[in-house]
Amino acid sequence: MANLKELASRKELLTGGHRMCPGCGAPIIVRQILLASKDPVVVVAATGCLEVSTTIFPYTAWNVPYLHNAFENAGATLSGVEAAYSAFKKKGKISQHVNFIAFGGDGGTYDIGLQSLSGALERGHDLLYVCYNNEAYMNTGVQRSGATPKGANTTTEPAGKVRQGKVEWRKDLTEIVAAHGIPYVAQSIAGNWADLTKKAEKAFSIRGPKFMNVLQPCRLGWGYKPEDTLNIARLAVESCVWPLYEVENGVYKVNSKPKAKKPAADFLKTQERFRHLFKPGNEQLLIEIQTEVDRRWEALVAKEPAVRTGA
């Protein structure tokens, strides 16, 4: 695995001068994943914060070939790019290996783009799909998505007098993707460069479809100070709200098992979107959330192959 000095000697593939919010986690994820590639990269982005903010004509922050098509079709669009590459390779028009990467937000991945993603995975294209998951439609002003966690305040499922933000549990997209039986699936975060770049390197070393679901705190939609982006993501891991794990050829590996698991509330209370949960009367909701975090964590750990103990 490349250390920071090695990574720092590589070319910066996402320039500054993009229009993402100060402290946004998405460009951090993108920079780290691009830096992890030793081979040339071609990128397709789904419509979303990342796409609009990095490519306002005539300015593009991408130092790699880049295509935006629409919102729900990054998987299919990148399938087409990769299909053209395969056709050209067969004809001897190109020989160099290329890493094909799609970046989509949770809206473009969990919701409107799920079919396109699923198709691309099922067809076996050699590509990496990265979901920069900020758990709502941030680009259009913090509307709920299938990735929004229960209890979060969003503009389309706000906290009010009789409802406490999102009523439903978020869908587990990483597991849905893993059910496709593709060679590599991982969860990571903005805030652990070693975990993220290691997983990206591993993804690039595997042929076939790969998927990474990367939790990306959003200072605007989650409500916190911009400098806290990375440590809030780490809190999500330390509280087991967002476990770091990978599924390689069907084999689960949990990458980080906190010795002392922090309460989910430690993560929740750092953000405005959960503030109403700490008002008197919502104690039961906090318990429900903690119970669900525990249930999902235990279910995940149970998927790991049994470790042989000595003797």
Partner 1 sequence: MNGKPGWRELAEGDVVPAGTAEQFETGDWRTERPTWHPERCIQCLLCWISCPDSAIVVKDQKMTGFNYHHCKGCGICAKECPVKPEKAITMGPER
Partner 2 sequence: MAKVVARTGNEAMAEAMRQINPDVVAAYPITPATEIVMIFAKYVADGLVDTNYVAVESEHSAMSACVGAAAAGARVMTGTSSQGLALMYEILPIAAALRLPIVLSDVNRALSGPINIHCDHSDTMAARDFGWLQIFSENSQEAYDGLIQAVRIAEDPRVHLPAMVTTDGFIISHCLDKIELLEDSEVKEFIGPERKAPNSLLNLEKPVSIGLLDLQDYYFEHRLPVAEAMRGAKKVILEVADEFAKKFGRKYGLCEAYKLEDAEHVVVALGSTCGTAKVVVDELRSKGVRAGLLKIRVFRPFPGEEIAAALAKAKTVAVLDRSDSWSAQGGQVFTEVRSVMFDLPVKPKIINFIYGLGGREIDQGQIRQVYDCLQKVEKQPLVQYLGVRE
Residues 17/41, Cβ–Cβ less than 8 Å: no
The one-letter amino acid at 19: R
Considering CB distances under 5 to 8 angstroms, the limit depending on partner class, which of partner 2, partner 1, none binds residue 27? partner 1
| Strand pairing category for 251-254 and 209-215 | unpaired
User: What are the DSSP calls for 162-221, one per residue?
Assistant: S-BS--SPPP-HHHHHHTTT-SEEEEEETT-HHHHHHHHHHHHHS-SEEEEEEE---III
14 beta partners: 62
Give the shortest CB-18-to-partner 2 separation in angstroms. Answer: 11
The span from the CA of 211 to the CA of 259, in Å, is 28
Nearer to partner 2, 52 or 265 (CB): 52
Member of 21, 70, 206, 230 binding partner 2 (CB under 8 A): 70
Residue 58 touching partner 2 (CB under 8 A): yes
CA gap 52, 118 in Å, rounded: 24
1, 6, 8, 115: which one binds partner 2 (CB under 8 A): 115
As a whole number of angstroms, the distance between CA 284 and CA 264 comes to 14
Q: What residue 94 binds from partner 2, partner 1, none (CB within 5 to 8 A, per partner kind)?
A: partner 2
Residue written as tokens 């906290």? 159
The token pair that represents 183 in the structure block: 């060679």
Other CB atoms within a 10 A radius of the CB of residue 217 amount to 29
Amino acid at 48: G
Q: How far is the CB of 33 from partner 1 (least distance, A)?
A: 12
Q: Which does 236 bind (CB under 5 to 8 A by kind): partner 1, partner 2, none?
A: none
User: Total binding residues for partner 1 by CB under 8 A?
Assistant: 42
**Is 10 among the residues that bind partner 2 (CB under 8 A)?**
no
Asked if residues 259 and 217 have their Cβ atoms less than 8 Å apart, the reply is: no
Of the residues 15, 118, 143, 156, which one makes contact with partner 2 according to CB under 8 A: 118
Cβ-based nearer residue to partner 2, 72 or 106:
72
Q: Is residue 46 near partner 1 by the rule CB under 8 A?
A: no
Closest among 37, 40, 125 to 80, alpha carbons compared: 125
Of the pair 181, 226, the CB lying nearest partner 1 is at: 226
Q: How far is the CB of 54 from partner 1 (least distance, A)?
A: 7
Alpha-carbon distance values, 86 to 91, 127, 282 (Å): 9, 12, 55
Tokens of 115: 């079919």
Look at residue 159 and give the partner it binds from partner 1, partner 2, none, a contact being a CB closer than 5 to 8 Å depending on partner kind. Answer: none
Binds 78, which of partner 1, partner 2, none (CB < 5 to 8 A, cut-off by type)?
partner 2
C-alpha distance from residue 135 to each of 191, 200, 242, 266, 273 (Å): 16, 21, 12, 18, 11
- Interaction between residue 9 and partner 1 (CB under 8 A): yes
Q: Which does 290 bind (CB under 5 to 8 A by kind): partner 1, partner 2, none?
A: none
- Range 79-98, binding partner 2 (CB under 8 A): 79-88, 90-91, 94, 96, 98
Q: Are 212 and 188 in contact (CB under 8 A)?
A: yes
Q: Does 21 bind partner 2 (CB under 8 A)?
A: no
Residues contributing to the site for partner 1 (CB under 8 A): 4-5, 7-9, 12, 14-20, 22-28, 31-32, 35, 54, 57-66, 193, 225-231
Residues contributing to the site for partner 2 (CB under 8 A): 40, 42, 44, 51-52, 55-58, 60, 62-70, 72-73, 75-88, 90-91, 94, 96, 98, 115-116, 118-119, 122-123
